[in-house]
Amino acid sequence: MSISSYLKKGFLFLVYTLIIFFVMLLGSVTGLFIQIKRQLPDLSILKEYEPSLITRVYDSNGQSLAHFCLEKRILVPYVSFPSHMIQAVIAVEDARFYKHNGLDWGGISRAAIRNIRHKGFMEGGSTITQQLTRSLLLHSEKTIIRKLKEALLALEVEKLYSKDKILELYLNQIYFGNGAYGIESAARTFFGVHAEDLGLTQSALLAGLPKAPNLYNPTRHPDRALSRRNYVLKRMLEEGYIDYNQYQSSINTSIDLSKNKDQSAQAPYFVEYIRSYLEGKYGATMLYRGGLKVYTTLDPDLQKYAEDALKCGLEELDKRQGFRNIQDIKGKSENPKGGNYEDIERELIACIETGILPKNRILGEVVDVSSSQALILMYGTGIKGILGIDDASWTGTKSLESIIKPADKIYVRILERLKDPDNKAETLFRLAMDQVPEVQGAILAIDPHTGHIKAMAGGYDFETSKFNRAVQAKRQPGSAFKPFIYTTALKQGYTLADIFIDSPIIYQDDEQEKDWKPVNYYQKFYGPTTLREALEKSRNVITIKVLKKAGIDASVETAKDMGIVSPLSADLSLALGSSGVSLLELTSAYGVFATGGIKTMPVAILKIEGPDGRILEEHHPHPERAIDEQTAYLMTQALRGVIDHGTGWKAKALARPLAGKTGTTNNYIDAWFIGFSPDIVAGVWIGFDEYKSLGDMETGSKAASPVWVNFMKGYLDGKTVKDFPIPPGIEFVSIDRKTGLLATGECNDILLEAFRDGTAPKKLCKAHQITSAHFVQMDMELSKDTRMVDAQDIQINFPERKARSSD
């Protein structure tokens, strides 16, 4: 056989092989195509589509507290879309939208090349139609099968619906962030307007969000959002939708977002705390579309007591800081709370008809003013009121003319309805001068036996600031940290009757090249002092000596064991609360005293159910021993003394077994009060976000404890008196309060003190014979190395040290 014959046969074999291969390939592709087409969802879903399930949150009574329905969109027709909104979306998402039949082969080719270069799915080249089908009908997993289904569905959708209808479905479906699904919801959420009223720059910003709503979220990442918006404007310029002058003008326009009222009016800081947890663990899709049922620990009654107490305390403190003219406060909104003047006018009219006074602060405009009174027009309404100087007494002014003038804006509250003496037909109201506090605060209440968070308020007004100071802020606790130092000493065998000398001490600081001379709050030293009195009166110097004797590492370990999770400075400044902690961890740690030494970590959620009723997670208390019960009881007794005889004296008015501790930092920057009963532990922090002084003498006792007292008043109302249980191993002995020795008939200040069995003093008090020299000798025996004031004193470094003020 000739070579040509062999070549001919070889060629024919190759041809037949290729034909068979292509037939098989065509058959496989056809089979795959048929299989995929059979798996395609019914397009009638587009007509029958309804919003996803709502996640609901319940309080501890099983009552509805909040809901997350972020996909409960507001449907609007195509005619409601501004032309520049449509142009912006097309320019940035699918420039050939009106030219293709559902698939943009050029875009697919470019995306394929990029994916090959990056060896993965980096870009999909999806058209608007493909994005719609993926969002409504498919999952978002990046696989070849899903892309094929998406392409086939897109072709079918384009056959069934017009381009305008596809855009309508798309703009009503996609997620824009902040819970806004669909363009109408997004327009209201971000700008407080209807979709049809969106401007060019607003439309460009919204059009840029669907690609990555969290990444470009203008609330959280304004710089990224601005950059993305300007990119959309650039694409609109390139596509010829806007001219160069419009482009230049638009990119120089700042983002002006709406400050809409949060949907959750109840316990907003707590609800946001829950929302953040759910989104972090389950993701936004499950949170906003999964129909979860979330059962929380919140007690609605305690929550109201907490919010009311905090607001009242902050308003009283703010008034002590003086009157601030609204006109002098740049960048502050002049709208009343809620910003809806029509609602306020309706309230005022209803008040005229029913006599029920509005409780909200109202913005007013000064119409006329004299030294003794002013005529005020309720802003945005036609209703007037009279402000007398007596109802502005907190400002300290002797003449209203000295602080306000006609046309000024001021905040007022309505006290009662009056009659205009000159016109009996016109209704007037008696008004009181008011203002919006700048100072902030937080309050938290926990059941120490279960760890259940019963109440939480993280600021004065959630609408103004969503920063949750109860859990997110880390502030220096000042003297509120001292109980952990004394707890460590009691664990080691010290007693509340032990004497330390309150005397000057000097510590050399090599880093700062100067000496540290800690002092007490009143710049005085008090000589021989029991540990009980040192804690009750919050004495700084003795606390430092106690820390030095008990040990820094041991004290840090005690605080950690009790629930402090923040980093703590390993130096003597720890005694004065130099390390920042959150209100949540500090309040929870104090709960260990109330439970006899048992720690139960704080929890806000009882259980979470899926839409089918299946329990996804459930939380039960997991108590563990942090300190022994005798130490816990001794510290509780000492902290009761803080209320009975010390800086927490305001709580005595409650006439219940209560314990707690105040805290104040240098220059009155932070004010604290953490206290507890046998069944509840509550903490209060007061301060400015920007670390400035609260004002002279605004201590934890003055600024924070009234909030705590008001909260506890509501909590204790109607409850039977309950005392702290006495554990085994505790004995009570009568001692002289000053010397700490066994009391005799000659002692005139006797205290029935608690001791661990076998640790009570053995010597009788002979105060009339004891001189200060004896006490100095006693202190030297107890703590020789803590009293020295010369160069032989221990050298120690203080990386962040500033002596905390005590109160």
List, for residues 268-282, the tens digit of each pLDDT value.
999 999 999 999 999
> Which pLDDT score, from 0 to 100, does residue 296 have?
98
DSSP structure string for 398-448: S-GGGT--TT-EEEEEEEEEEE-TT-TTSEEEEEEEE-----EEEEEEE-T
Q: Say how far apart CA 63 and CA 340 lie, in whole Å.
A: 29
Q: Check if 93 is active-site.
A: yes
Residue 294 has φ and ψ, to the nearest 5°, of: -115, 115
Q: Say how far apart CA 61 and CA 452 lie, in whole Å.
A: 13
Note whether 495 and 443 are within 8 A (CB). no
Nearest to 568, CA basis, from 538, 547, 597, 537: 547
Q: How many CB atoms lie within 10 A of CB 116?
A: 10
Q: What is the pLDDT of residues 563-595, one digit of tens each?
A: 999 999 999 999 999 999 999 999 999 999 999
pLDDT cut 70: percent of the chain above it: 77
Nearest to 489, CA basis, from 782, 753, 732: 782
DSSP structure string for 456-479: EE-SS-TTT----TTTT--B--GG
Q: Check if 805 is active-site.
A: no
Note whether 740 and 762 are within 8 A (CB). no
Q: What is the 3-state secondary structure (H, E, C) of 117-167?
A: HHCCCCCCCCCHHHHHHHHHHCCCCCCHHHHHHHHHHHHHHHHHCCHHHHH
pLDDT bin (cut points 50, 70, 90) of residue 786 is: very low
pLDDT bin (cut points 50, 70, 90) of residue 11 is: low
Q: Say how far apart CA 592 and CA 292 lie, in whole Å.
A: 33
Note whether 412 and 400 are within 8 A (CB). no
Q: What is the pLDDT of residues 676-728, one digit of tens each?
A: 999 999 999 999 999 999 999 999 999 999 999 999 999 999 999 999 999 99
Question: Is a pLDDT exceeding 60 seen at residue 169?
Answer: yes
Q: Say how far apart CA 161 and CA 47 lie, in whole Å.
A: 11
Query: Angle formed by the axes of helices 83-93 and 200-207, to 10°?
Result: 30
Rounded to the nearest 5 degrees, what angle is found at the Cα of 267, between the Cα atoms of 565 and 659? 50
Q: Say how far apart CA 58 and CA 607 lie, in whole Å.
A: 10
Q: What is the pLDDT of residues 338-349, one digit of tens each?
A: 444 555 666 666
Q: What is the 3-state secondary structure (H, E, C) of 547-614?
A: HHHHCHHHHHHHHHHHCCCCCCCCCHHHHHCCCCECHHHHHHHHHHHHCCCEECCCECEEEEECCCCC
Mean pLDDT of 224-250: 95
pLDDT bin (cut points 50, 70, 90) of residue 735 is: very high
Nearest to 394, CA basis, from 368, 374, 412: 412
The torsion of the CA quartet 697, 701, 702, 703, rounded to 10 degrees, works out to 100
Q: Say how far apart CA 173 and CA 191 lie, in whole Å.
A: 19
Q: How many CB atoms lie within 10 A of CB 226?
A: 19
**Two tokens at 218?**
């203008």
> Which pLDDT score, from 0 to 100, does residue 791 have?
26
Q: Say how far apart CA 58 and CA 86 lie, in whole Å.
A: 40
Q: What is the pLDDT of residues 366-406, one digit of tens each?
A: 999 999 999 999 877 778 899 999 999 999 999 999 999 99
If one compares 68 and 629, the residue with the highest pLDDT of the two is: 629
Mean pLDDT score of the chain, rounded to an integer?
84
Q: Say how far apart CA 325 and CA 378 lie, in whole Å.
A: 17
Q: What is the pLDDT of residues 90-124, one digit of tens each?
A: 999 988 888 887 676 666 655 555 555 544 544 45
**Two tokens at 176?**
């824009």
If one compares 450 and 52, the residue with the highest pLDDT of the two is: 450
> Which pLDDT score, from 0 to 100, does residue 181 have?
85
Q: What is the pLDDT of residues 497-556, one digit of tens each?
A: 999 999 999 987 666 667 888 999 889 999 999 999 999 999 999 999 999 999 999 999
691 DSSP assignment: -
β 527-530/598-599 pair status: unpaired
706 DSSP assignment: H
Nearest to 492, CA basis, from 794, 782, 784, 786: 782
Helices (H) and strands (E) in the chain, counts: 22, 25
The distance in angstroms from the start CA to the end CA of the chain is 114
Note whether 591 and 448 are within 8 A (CB). yes
> Please, which residues have CB within 8 angstroms of residue 159's CB and are 6 or more apart in sequence?
none
> Which pLDDT score, from 0 to 100, does residue 166 have?
86
Query: Angle formed by the axes of helices 83-93 and 128-137, to 10°?
Result: 90
Q: Say how far apart CA 596 and CA 605 lie, in whole Å.
A: 24
Q: How many CB atoms lie within 10 A of CB 22?
A: 10
**Residue 199 class from Cβ within 10 Å (0-12 exposed, 13-18 middle, 19+ buried)?**
middle
pLDDT bin (cut points 50, 70, 90) of residue 28 is: low
Question: Is a pLDDT exceeding 70 seen at residue 490?
Answer: yes
Question: Is a pLDDT exceeding 90 seen at residue 131?
Answer: no
Note whether 266 and 581 are within 8 A (CB). no
State which of 326-330, 477-481, 517-521 shows the largest mean pLDDT.
477-481
Q: Say how far apart CA 269 and CA 2 lie, in whole Å.
A: 92
Give the count of alpha carbons within 13 A of 565, CB side only: 11
Q: How many CB atoms lie within 10 A of CB 767?
A: 15
The catalytic residue among 71, 80, 93, 250 is 93
> Please, which residues have CB within 8 angstroms of residue 108's CB and are 6 or more apart in sequence?
125
> Which pLDDT score, from 0 to 100, does residue 793 have?
30
> Please, which residues have CB within 8 angstroms of residue 635's CB and are 6 or more apart in sequence?
483, 486, 487, 490, 593
Q: How many CB atoms lie within 10 A of CB 800?
A: 11
pTM as predicted: 0.70
Q: Which residues pair with 432 in a beta bridge?
A: 413
> Which pLDDT score, from 0 to 100, does residue 527 have?
95
Q: What Cα–Cα distance (Å) separates residue 783 from each residue in 269, 499, 539, 573, 776?
A: 47, 10, 17, 18, 10
Q: What is the pLDDT of residues 637-662, one digit of tens each?
A: 999 999 999 999 999 999 999 999 99
Question: Is a pLDDT exceeding 50 seen at residue 669?
Answer: yes
Of 312-326, 416-430, 527-541, the range with the lowest mean pLDDT is 416-430
If one compares 204 and 71, the residue with the highest pLDDT of the two is: 204
Of 407-416, 493-502, 625-634, the range with the lowest mean pLDDT is 407-416
The catalytic residue among 185, 203, 264, 479 is 479
Q: Say how far apart CA 427 and CA 350 lie, in whole Å.
A: 12
Q: Say how far apart CA 392 and CA 415 lie, in whole Å.
A: 12
Mean pLDDT of 602-627: 95
> Which pLDDT score, from 0 to 100, does residue 127 have?
86
Q: What Cα–Cα distance (Å) separates residue 762 from each residue in 226, 471, 619, 739?
A: 75, 47, 49, 13
Of 313-322, 417-426, 476-485, the range with the lowest mean pLDDT is 417-426
> Which pLDDT score, from 0 to 100, does residue 795 have?
29
pLDDT bin (cut points 50, 70, 90) of residue 794 is: very low
Count the helix, strand and coil residues of the chain and give each as a percent rounded to the nearest 5. 40, 15, 40
